[in-house]
Amino acid sequence: MDPKAQVVQLKTQLVSEGHTRYMLAETDLMTLRIHCYAPGIGENALHAHTKEDHIFIVLDGTAQFNTERDGKTVLTAGKNQAVVLPAGSYYQFCNSGQTPLVLARIGAGQDKADQRLNPDGSAIPGRTNEHGAAKPKLIEGAFFQ
């Protein structure tokens, strides 16, 4: 069977609370998602992925990434910038701006048995609800596209 090319739309509804994440495309080796975070909301606790590289592309807004095992190295990425996180890189991030943060997230790896690890090396079961996780409140009629 021949693989099929496709076009996906980088569009998502903006949020005023919480965050959203939608899968746009998936292959055997990678995933593409679009995420939207309200101001002050971010990605879980400090963690690393064992078998998956990540690239977070800031489509709109500003993201603050805390990196390294201690979380003290700060990277700030704005519109049209990306943060590259090889497997094993510790990180957490949040929307450090005053407007919704829209990210494209690419995950790539040959082994779908990726695990998330705490800085002490222990496994994180499932998805955690830390760092301001809340049910998203969509902004009516407001979209990134």
- Per-residue confidence (pLDDT) for residue 131, from 0 to 100: 47
pLDDT at 56: 98
Output the average pLDDT for the chain: 91
Lowest mean pLDDT among 76-80, 119-123, 126-130: 126-130
Q: Is the pLDDT of residue 93 over 50?
A: yes
Answer for the pair 105, 36: CB distance below 8 angstroms, yes or no.
Answer: no
What pLDDT does 125 receive? 77
pTM confidence score: 0.90
Residue 80 has pLDDT above 60, yes or no: yes
pLDDT at 127 over 80: no
Domains of the chain (ranges, CATH numbers)? 15-111 (2.60.120.10)
